[in-house]
Amino acid sequence: MLDHNLNYIVVEGSIGVGKTSLAQRLGDEFGSYLLLENVEDNPFLERFYQNPREAALSTQLYFLLRRTKQLQEFRQADIFSPVRVSDFLIDKDRLFAQVTLNASEYDLYEQVYSYLTIDAPKPDLVVYLQAPVEVLLQRIRKRGRGYERLIESAYLEQLNAAYAKFFYNYEDAPCLIVNASEIDFINNDRDYEQLLQEILSTKAGKRYFNPLPFAS
């Protein structure tokens, strides 16, 4: 039995960093209700990667509407679930909007965002996974999603910078910032256990975890 006071954990990070995989493993660990993004449902996404300027607003509004609908269902889910784990923080939706939308589109987006997220639940802990662009690109190629072949390194650079700025200023919940470049929390049980202990130990403020390799 794990000793913790966590009811709602969010795993976050840029495209390809492994947030969904970690959320699923934590879900198994805690016996959780899982709230996961289904990116592939977005009918505008491939068009966005083909022509970002043309499809940015429709792509972003679809994600926003879908995520807020999921959060509504999440609030109505089984209150006896011991822990709830998600692979997205609704607050970060703005990051993609800021990177992809022009000024007039962003004004419209902000009006919709403010209306839909007025009572969004706050997590007890955010686990923010970081990795450099070259690592993200390797992982994106490895998982082989067709539409992701169009993702450019410049776009990932923008996202990484936006994430770093956002979480530098994030104060709504305790936040564990993880260097995920070398750690393999899916296939390596020692890496996972090391990360799990850091998660359980993060009680307030920001905490940084730079995993050390085990001696052979």
Catalytic residues: 87
Give dist(CA 215, CA 93) in Å, integer: 40
Q: Which residues contact 58 (CB under 8 A, 6 or more apart)?
A: 44
- Closest by Cα among 85, 87, 101, 97 to 166: 97
Give dist(CA 34, CA 42) in Å, integer: 19
Give dist(CA 2, CA 43) in Å, integer: 40
- Closest by Cα among 112, 156, 120 to 15: 156
Contact present, 10 and 127 (Cβ < 8 Å): yes
Token pair in block for residue 180? 């995920």
Contact present, 209 and 198 (Cβ < 8 Å): yes
Give dist(CA 35, CA 33) in Å, integer: 7
Token pair in block for residue 17? 């960093």
126 strand-pairing partners: 10, 175
